C-alpha cells in the first residue's frame, strides 16, 4: 500500500492521533520525533495540531555565545537540507552591518553553491514525490551527483561551511567549472557561467575578531523550501546579543495547522507529505 492509498482510506468521525506516518525512510518527517492529532466531524477536520519534539541543535542560542565568524559554522544546522542558504544570508547581514562589499567572484561562487544545493534538494523531493505514489525514480542518483559536485566545491556534502565573511573558503577548480557550465540543469549552468565571467579576490583581510556596530539588521533569502529570514541584534561586541531565525519549515507547518480546518484527512495528509520542511527548522 502506498502512502496515498493509506491516506485515502476511511477516517471515521472522532479524534485521530498519529505518531508515525508510513512515509519513505528518507522523508524529513521521519528524521526526528513528529506526531499529529486531528478531529474529524462529518468527514472533515475541525481541529488539528502538530507536535514536534526536541529535534533542534539550538542554533539561536549557540550563535549568542560564538563570534560572528564562528557562527557561520553553526547557522546552517537547523535546516540541513538547505544549509548553504543560511550561511550566505548570515554572512550577508554581517557584511552589510560592517559595510563590507564582496567581489563579483565571491557573489557568483556563493550563487553556484546555492544552485548546486537547489538541484540536490529538487532531486530529493522528486524522489519523495514518486515514493508517495509507489513509483520508481532515478532522482536519488541525480541527487548524489549534485552532492558530489557540492562537495567538490565546498569540501562537504551537506554542511559545507563554505562561506566566509567577505568571501568564500576557496575558488572553484577549472575542471569542475568547465563541467558545470554545460550542466543539463539550467540553474546550475547559468550560475557556473556567471562564475566564469566574474573576477575578483575570493577573500579579504579582516581583523582577527569582528565587532559589529550597535544596532540590528534583518534580511531574507528564498531557499528551495521557502523563505528564510535572519534577524541579528548587536550591542557592539564580538558576540551577537540576539539572533532570531524565521525558518521556512516553521512557517509552513504553522500555516498548515490552521489551513487543515475544513479539509478531509486525505487532503491534509497529502499536503503534509508534500510540504518541504525538516523538523530541525520547526523545533529550534
Residues 6+ away with beta carbon under 8 Å from 93: 217, 218, 219, 230, 232
> Nearest 5°: phi and psi at 38?
-145, 150
Q: Where in the chain are the domains?
A: 3-55+248-282, 59-241
Burial pattern 210-232, b for ≥16 Cβ within 10 A else e, equals bebeeebbeeebebbbbebebbb
Written out in words, the top-level CATH class of the domain with range 59-241 is mainly alpha
Alpha carbon 184 to chain centroid distance? Answer: 23
Instruction: Give the mean pLDDT per block of 10 residues along the chain (284 residues).
Output: 96 96 94 92 97 75 92 86 96 98 98 98 98 96 97 90 96 98 96 98 94 97 97 96 93 94 98 93 78
Length of the chain: 284
- 3-55+248-282 shares its CATH topology with 59-241: no
pLDDT in tens, 2-35: 999 999 999 999 999 999 899 999 999 998 789 9
pLDDT in tens, 195-217: 999 999 999 999 989 999 999 99
Do the Cβ atoms of 133 and 2 come closer than 8 Å?
Answer: yes
pTM value? 0.94
CATH fit for domain 3-55+248-282, picks 3.40.190, 3.40.50, 3.30.390, 3.40.5: 3.30.390
Sign of torsion over alpha carbons 53, 54, 55, 56: positive
Amino acid at each position: 500500500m502506498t502512502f496515498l492509498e493509506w491516506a485515502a482510506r476511511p477516517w471515521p468521525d472522532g479524534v485521530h492521533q498519529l505518531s508515525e506516518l508510513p512515509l519513505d525512510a528518507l522523508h524529513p518527517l521521519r528524521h526526528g520525533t513528529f506526531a499529529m492529532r486531528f478531529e474529524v466531524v462529518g468527514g472533515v477536520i475541525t481541529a488539528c495540531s502538530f507536535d514536534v519534539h526536541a529535534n533542534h541543535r539550538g542554533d539561536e542560542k549557540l550563535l549568542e555565545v560564538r563570534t560572528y565568524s564562528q557562527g557561520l559554522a553553526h547557522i546552517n544546522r537547523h535546516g540541513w537540507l538547505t544549509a548553504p542558504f543560511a550561511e550566505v544570508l548570515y554572512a550577508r547581514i554581517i557584511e552589510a552591518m560592517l559595510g563590507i562589499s564582496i567581489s563579483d567572484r565571491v557573489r557568483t561562487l556563493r550563487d553556484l553553491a546555492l544552485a548546486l544545493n537547489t538541484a540536490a534538494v529538487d532531486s530529493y523531493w522528486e524522489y519523495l514525490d514518486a515514493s508517495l505514489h509507489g513509483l520508481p525514480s532515478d532522482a536519488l542518483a541525480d541527487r548524489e551527483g549534485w552532492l558530489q559536485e557540492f562537495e567538490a566545491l565546498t569540501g562537504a556534502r551537506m554542511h559545507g561551511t563554505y562561506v566566509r565573511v567577505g568571501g568564500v573558503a576557496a575558488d572553484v577548480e577549472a575542471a569542475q567549472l568547465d563541467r558545470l557550465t554545460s550542466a543539463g540543469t539550467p540553474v546550475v549552468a547559468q550560475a557556473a557561467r556567471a562564475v566564469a565571467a566574474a573576477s575578483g579576490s575570493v577573500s579579504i583581510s579582516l581583523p582577527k575578531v569582528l565587532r559589529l556596530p550597535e544596532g540590528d539588521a534583518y534580511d531574507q533569502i528564498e531557499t528551495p523550501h521557502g523563505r528564510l529570514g535572519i534577524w541579528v541584534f548587536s550591542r557592539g561586541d564580538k558576540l551577537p546579543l540576539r539572533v532570531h531565525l524565521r525558518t521556512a519549515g516553521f512557517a509552513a507547518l504553522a500555516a498548515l495547522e490552521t489551513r487543515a480546518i475544513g479539509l478531509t484527512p486525505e487532503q491534509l495528509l497529502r499536503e503534509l507529505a508534500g510540504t518541504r520542511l525538516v523538523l530541525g527548522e520547526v523545533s529550534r
